Structures are given as C-alpha cells and as structure tokens.
Amino acid sequence: MLKVGLTGGIGSGKSAVSAALASYGAVVIDADAIAREVVEPGTPGLAEVVAEFGEQVLTPEGRLDRPRLGELVFADESRLARLNAIIHPKVGERSGRLMEEALASNAEIVVYDVPLLVENGLESLYDVVVVVDTPDEVRVERVSRDRGMPREQVRARIAAQADRETRLAAADFVVDNSGTRQDLARRVQELWNELVEHAR
C-alpha cells in the first residue's frame, strides 16, 4: 500500500485534487473533515474547545462557530497551539482507525489530505508527499470569491501557513493549479498514473 501525504495552502485547490484521486480509486483520509467531525455537537472535542475558549465560539444552535474561532486563534500563536493540542490527538486517533480499515480492505493507494502536513513536520509519515501549488495572489482571489472571506483575512491565513518555498521543498510530486479546471484534471490524471506506478 502506498501512503500519500497530500497538502497545499488555503485556496490551493487541494480538495479538488483529493476528490479527483478518490474518483480514481484512492482511499482518502481527510484531516479537515475529521477535524470537523471531532467537534460536532455532543462530542468531547467540542466540550474541550468551549472549556478553553468560552461560549463565544458557539453559534446560537450550539455548533462550533468556525469563523469566530478562526479570528481568535489565527491572530495569536499561543491560542492556536492550545486549539491544536485539543484537536490534533483526536484527529490522529480517528485517522488511525480509518487507516486500519483501508489496510483491511487491501487498498492500493491511501491519500492523507493534510492541510498542515509541512507545518507540523509530518513528511516522514508518508511514502510520498504531493503538494498542490498555486501562486499566493491566485489563492487570495479564489478564497475571497468562493468563501466570501475578506482578502486581508485570507492573507493572514496564508501568512500563518508554510510559505510556498518550504512546501515545495517537501514535495515528491507537485500539482500546479495555476491554470484552468481542465489543466488541473489533466495534471491529476498524470499524478494518478505516477502513483499507481509507484505503488507497484
């Protein structure tokens, strides 16, 4: 089984690459989706986040208010570290269980979709690292257009993540996503062929 670490900064198009790889038959373990799952209402994770940051991080319906929490932690490294200390072990535990299921199903390629792979120095956990690379200004445009986030906030998130050079230095394969959706689809198909070859 080939373990692939897939990463890319906010707005790079990593989710689109991840979805395309899943359509080719990869088992995808999505750290972001798991991170959302572990703070669903009624979970110990949400209770811990509220204990740490207060009721202000909840919506009126009792769900985690992600934009509000983001405002609190992305401007303050120590708060971000405290949030990560709550979330990361829970994500790790759930990922481990999903990995066991993938092993049991004899999957050939398992893709870990990990936004902060480089920031957390996780490269050694994977057989190969794939980086989705997009120029910063393109990412700012995409995120502000698609998520309605103010440009300054997008730039702050980009600044809080590894820079392009650091991310690219960790890559075994780079998926350039500065072009059209068709360009990306072609590049992912090439990547899939390379991964299959690698796995065999």
| pLDDT digits 0-9 by tens, 12-39 | 999 999 999 999 999 999 988 999 999 9
Domain with CATH 3.40.50.300 in the chain: 1-26+107-200
User: What is 1-26+107-200's CATH superfamily?
Assistant: P-loop containing nucleotide triphosphate hydrolases (3.40.50.300)
191, two tokens: 């990547």
**Token pair in block for residue 98:** 């999903």
pTM of the model: 0.80
Model confidence pLDDT, tens digit, residues 33-74: 999 999 999 999 999 999 999 999 999 999 999 989 998 998
Nearest to residue 193, comparing CAs of 109, 113, 105, 132?
109
Give the long-range contacts of residues 50-58, CB within 8 A, separation 24 or more: 52/82, 52/83, 52/86, 53/79, 53/83
